[in-house]
């Protein structure tokens, strides 16, 4: 890592905000609201920290957007990117051509993936990866002569991207409410959210129950019509929903029983987040397809794709002829060079083992301690994702906690205090979530939880002043 230094350059924040407000429509943003506030301008990153244009240093407990796994400021990635740009900045993989980093990265990804995978299809994002999945699983069943087998089952509150297929596969109500989604042929079942739906059951019982909703949906749809089930090993954007340990093995059993393809969306969980290369390994499943993006390059350059198991690839290769799908930037040499160096860092610094054996368990303890805070009803973690729920009144049983009203927006109030304390934590309703860079040390976890605790104290004071607690 570089030396952690304050940014030398100074920035005219107001001028940049003015350009931004005048011309830039941000993703997932209320444009008018942002225009009134002005965007915070980020200018530099190093390790687990970022700086804004006012010189404020912030601990980035969200790894950008769940992606900067090796941390900011890795000179060796910029060097690899520079070198590739100087050598061959672009060439496509259409028309029987390839490039050196794409072929090398394909082989490397196969090496680090579970044994059923010998092939990869490259995209530039997770959304494009999931669009690829939709077309690939339907093509697979068509080639086998099952032309009706086109339905994909997903889950409410899942996030699979923002393209038309990605948003349709996802289960976000607010996204479906715009532009007539989901597209036909996609069904949704309940999510394995114990807090929301597990009252009266043990976690283990609830895991089996939530998995049984898949079998119910398969039978309702007709097993001969179901192509695949898709899920994130741990739902990220939905609020770090960590399923009971019984859930995924039961989902695998049901997929096997009906011969349905299992798609693991590893966009967040892949590349070490849960202390294994892929979340599927931690959850004990054997997916037929795995979507990846984000952590493959630690976000330094856009890259995504789908790992394709032999079950699917053999059919596409042997029987398929042309697969009429792909992108200009599939196998982009610069992105692939960044990914190769990023994976080399993950391996060389043994960051995934560190998450499994050291920082993951340490974070779990730290979050268990945060659960003693008067505002925190419940806290949990897995590897380096974690979340805690803000409640109006605590109770012995998670399901008996008294919640705040949604209109009170307590999560957003808390997020504001996190920011002023110098830490980025995301609010999903009243659940506060983190996914810090995998290079975070035990000492930095202490620093992070210290900042979280102070911000929780300030939130509590604020809510007391409002008379809400």
Contact positions toward ligand PMP, by CB under 6 A? 125-127, 130, 159-161, 232, 236-237, 265, 267-268, 293, 304
Minimal distance, residue 141 CB to ligand PMP, in Å: 23
Task: Check: CB of residue 155 under 8 Å from CB of residue 171.
Answer: yes
Minimal distance, residue 267 CB to ligand PMP, in Å: 3
Distance (Å, whole) CA 469 – CA 460: 8
Distance (Å, whole) CA 113 – CA 368: 32
Distance (Å, whole) CA 261 – CA 305: 17
CA atoms within 13 A on the CB side of 377: 19
Starting from the edge strand earliest in sequence, which strands make up the sheet with 385-390, in order? 376-382, 385-390, 431-434, 426-428
Nearer to ligand PMP, 209 or 431 (CB): 431
Nearer to ligand PMP, 237 or 382 (CB): 237
Question: CA-CA distances (angstroms) from residue 46 to 256, 303, 422, 455?
Answer: 45, 21, 15, 23
Distance (Å, whole) CA 158 – CA 168: 10
* CA-wise closest residue to 189 among 117, 254, 279, 104: 254
In the bound complex, which residue of the shown chain has the CB atom lying closest to ligand PMP? 126
DSSP characters over 162-227:
SSHHHHHHS--HHHHTTTTPSPTTEEEE----HHHH-TTS-HHHHHHHHHHHHHHHHHHH-GGGEE
Nearer to ligand PMP, 71 or 236 (CB): 236
Beta bridge partners of 21: none
Residue 437 has a CB neighbour count (10 Å cut-off) of 25
Beta bridge partners of 120: 307
Nearer to ligand PMP, 262 or 375 (CB): 262
Nearer to ligand PMP, 26 or 199 (CB): 26
Nearer to ligand PMP, 290 or 413 (CB): 290
Nearer to ligand PMP, 63 or 449 (CB): 63
Minimal distance, residue 237 CB to ligand PMP, in Å: 5
3-class secondary structure, 21:
helix
Peptide bond into 182 cis (omega under 30): yes
Residue 89 has a CB neighbour count (10 Å cut-off) of 11
Nearer to ligand PMP, 172 or 315 (CB): 172
Nearer to ligand PMP, 127 or 444 (CB): 127
The torsion angle over the Cα atoms of residues 75, 77, 83 and 85, rounded to 10 degrees, is -120
Nearer to ligand PMP, 210 or 237 (CB): 237
Q: Radius of gyration of the chain from Cα atoms?
A: 22
| H-helix or E-strand spanning residue 12 | none
Which pair of tokens denotes residue 433?
Answer: 């979530």
Question: CA-CA distances (angstroms) from residue 18 to 40, 124, 298?
Answer: 12, 30, 30
Nearer to ligand PMP, 71 or 170 (CB): 170
Which pair of tokens denotes residue 423?
Answer: 């830490």
């Amino acid at each position: 890592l570089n030396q952690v230094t304050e940014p030398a350059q100074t920035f005219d924040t107001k001028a940049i905000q003015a350009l931004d407000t005048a011309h830039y429509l941000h993703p997932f943003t209320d444009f008018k609201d942002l225009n009134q506030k002005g965007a915070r301008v980020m200018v530099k990153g190093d390790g687990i920290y970022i700086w804004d244009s006012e010189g404020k240093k912030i601990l980035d407990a969200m790894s950008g957007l769940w992606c900067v796994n090796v941390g900011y400021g890795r000179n060796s990635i910029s060097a690899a990117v520079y070198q590739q740009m100087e050598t061959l900045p672009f060439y496509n993989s259409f028309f029987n051509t390839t490039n050196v980093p794409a072929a090398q990265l394909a082989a490397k990804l196969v090496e680090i993936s579970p044994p059923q995978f010998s092939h990869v299809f490259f995209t530039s994002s997770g959304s494009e990866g999931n669009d690829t999945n939709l077309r690939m699983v339907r093509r697979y069943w068509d080639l086998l002569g099952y032309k009706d087998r086109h339905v994909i089952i997903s889950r409410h509150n899942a996030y699979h991207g923002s393209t038309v297929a990605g948003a349709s596969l996802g289960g976000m109500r607010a996204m479906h409410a715009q532009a007539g989604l989901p597209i036909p042929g996609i069904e949704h079942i309940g999510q394995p959210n114990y807090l929301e739906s597990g009252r009266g059951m043990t976690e283990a019982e609830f895991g089996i129950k939530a998995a049984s909703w898949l079998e119910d949906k398969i039978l309702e749809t007709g097993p001969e019509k179901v192509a695949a089930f898709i899920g994130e090993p741990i739902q990220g954007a939905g609020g770090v929903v960590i399923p009971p340990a019984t859930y995924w093995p039961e989902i695998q059993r049901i997929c096997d029983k009906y011969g349905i393809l299992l798609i693991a969306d590893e966009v967040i969980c892949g590349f070490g987040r849960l202390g294994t290369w892929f979340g599927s390994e931690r959850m004990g499943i054997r997916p037929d397809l795995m979507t990846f993006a984000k952590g493959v390059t630690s976000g330094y350059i856009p890259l995504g794709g789908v790992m394709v198991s032999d079950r699917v690839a053999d059919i596409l290769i042997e029987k398929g002829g042309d697969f009429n799908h792909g992108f200009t930037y599939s196998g982009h040499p610069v992105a692939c060079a960044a990914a190769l160096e990023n994976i080399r860092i993950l391996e060389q610094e043994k960051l995934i083992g560190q998450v499994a054996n050291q920082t993951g368990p340490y974070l779990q303890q730290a979050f268990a301690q945060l659960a003693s805070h008067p505002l925190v009803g419940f806290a949990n973690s897995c590897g380096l994702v974690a979340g805690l729920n803000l409640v109006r009144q605590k109770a012995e049983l998670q399901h008996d906690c008294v919640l705040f009203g949604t209109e009170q927006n307590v999560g957003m109030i808390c997020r504001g205090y996190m920011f002023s304390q110098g830490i980025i934590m995301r609010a999903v309703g009243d659940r506060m979530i983190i996914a810090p860079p995998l290079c975070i040390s035990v000492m930095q976890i202490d620093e992070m939880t210290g900042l979280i605790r102070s911000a929780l104290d300030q939130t509590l004071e604020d809510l007391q002043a409002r008379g809400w607690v």
